[in-house]
Structures are given as structure tokens and as C-alpha cells.
Chain A
Amino acid sequence: MNFAEIKKILKCKKVGIAGCGGLGSNCAVALARIGIGKLVIVDFDVIEKSNLNRQHYYTNQLGQKKVFTLEENIFFINPHVKIEPHDVKLGPKEVVSIFKKCDVIIEAFDLAEMKQMIIETVMTELPDIPLIVGMGMAGYGDNESIKMEQHGNLFICGDMKTAIAEDIPPLAPRVGIVAHMQANKALEILLKNTKNENHTKQS
């Protein structure tokens, strides 16, 4: 498939992104660059200086709401992408109401509790929508450990072992790898089940 054909398919697709931090902002930007039709982005937080070591924001945006600032940054990258921003803290009810019409959902939280919440909610309430989560990306190096696992409609990207800690911070390179793995898997899922199936293979 050439890029024009890819863009034509993506134009009709809608991706939900839960969290606009290190995983969410970078994953959203990657999908926006290649011409995703619509992004449903959700976050309640504001941009802090400590976020800039990995999140797609600028120094003049400190203190602003992540979700509206990401909308603005994406506009300057690709103004054709429709953005549906939600400035809310996600719970099970909001996950269902906000993401139920999405073709794919990206989990991009930092807290383990929130990861558990969205996995359990999507698995029970929206089982037909593929969910791509990031699990284990703190620290640096150890490229070989970063991988993807599939359990039905749940896709897990990361090293599945390294949690953040005082001396194991989340940093742009590894967080970016996992964010882009999530975007790459989303792209593969979105281009599958289309007429041009010859290039994709079942994982």
C-alpha cells in the first residue's frame, strides 16, 4: 500500500487515547502525522517542567492543560486531523462513554491502578475494541527487552518489568519507543480488515 492509499483508509478511522503524557502525546503525534481521521484525547492534568523530558510540549506551554495544548500542537503538524479533547479524569463510566465509538483505544496512563482500571473496563464493557497498553518503559538502555504481547484484543507493549522509581525515571527514548510501538500496532490493526490485506499478516 502506498502512502496515499494508507491515508485514505486512516481518514475514516478514530483512535481513543487515554492520557496525554509521555505515551499519549507522542502516540497522538505519530498518528496525526500519518493522517489519522480523528483522535479522541483525554487528560485532566497541566503541563509541568518535569514533563518536558519525554512529553510533546514546549517550554512556553507550562501550566496549560495538556489535552487542549496537544490539540493545538497537532493542528500545527496536521490541521486535517479532527481532535475531540476531553478534560476529565477517566473512570470506568467515562472510558465507556468517551471511547465506545473508537476503532482502537490506546492506554497512556502513568499509574498502574489506572492501567488496571482501563484494561478491566474495556475487557468487560467494550470487548470488541482493541486496546493497546504500555507496560514497563522506565529507565534507559536494554532495547532487547522491549516487546509486544497479545492476549485476544489486548496488546501490551513494553519491557513488562521496569516500573518507575526515584532512580529509574521515565525518559524520552524508552517512553518514545513504547509510544511509537503502540501507534505502530494501532496502524496495523486499522489497516487490517481493509480491501488491501496482502501486506499485513496475522499476529
Chain B
Amino acid sequence: MKITLNNREENIERDLITIQELIEYKNFTFKLLVTKINDRLIKKDERKTANIKDGDKVVVLHMISGG
């Protein structure tokens, strides 16, 4: 399926994927993330059940210390 991940088009070799599976699939290793599907915030405990479908707009942001 085709999704938009962080403003970029991305082809995912699955028909259905949770956001947690997407994080593993993309090898996103940062501990702290902010995740959104179609502008809806997905909190950490919802990531295992939040499904991403074809055409969805997904945001996975890495929280990086420093300031």
C-alpha cells in the first residue's frame, strides 16, 4: 500500500499495518516518539492497535534532547 510518511510518499509491502509495526518495519529506534495518523494523535499505548490503511497520512516524529 501507499502511504504518506512524514510528508513523503512511501510504499509499504503490506495491506494493513499498525503504527507500532510500521515503526519496527522502518527501523525507527528512537525511544521517544510522537505519532499521528491523518492528523489524529496516537498515544504510545494505542500504537499496537492503531491501523494504517492505504492512502493514510502518517507522521512519526523522533524526540531529540537539547535546547
Contacts and interface: CB of A to CB of B under 8 A. Distances in A.
Say if A and B assemble together. yes
Contact of B66 (A123, A151, A163): A163
Contacts, number: 75
Contacts of A22: 66-67
Contacts of A156: 61
B41 A111 contact: no
Interface in B19-67: 31-34, 36, 39, 41, 43, 59, 61-67
A170 interface: yes
B6 interface: yes
Given A115-B32, A123-B41, 11 more contacts: A111-B65, A112-B32, A112-B65, A115-B65, A134-B66, A135-B62, A149-B6, A151-B6, A158-B64, A163-B65, A170-B67
A108 interface: yes
Nearest to A174: B66
Interface residues of A, number: 35
Interface of A: 19, 21-24, 108-113, 115-116, 119-120, 123-124, 134-138, 149-152, 156, 158, 160-164, 170, 175
Contacts of A19: 67
A151 B7 contact: yes
B67 A137 contact: yes
A149 B7 contact: yes
Contacts of B66: 22, 110, 134, 136-138, 162-164, 170, 175
Nearest to A137: B66
B64 A110 contact: no
A185 B65 CA distance: 21
A160 B64 contact: yes
Nearest to A55: B67
Nearest to A165: B65
Contact of B34 (A119, A137, A138, A152): A119
Nearest to A110: B67
B65 A23 contact: no
Contacts of B32: 112-113, 115-116
Q: For A19, A110, A113, A120, which residue has the most chain B Cβ atoms within 10 angstroms?
A: A120
Contacts of A164: 65-66
A198 B10 CA distance: 35
Contacts of B43: 120
A103 B31 CA distance: 31
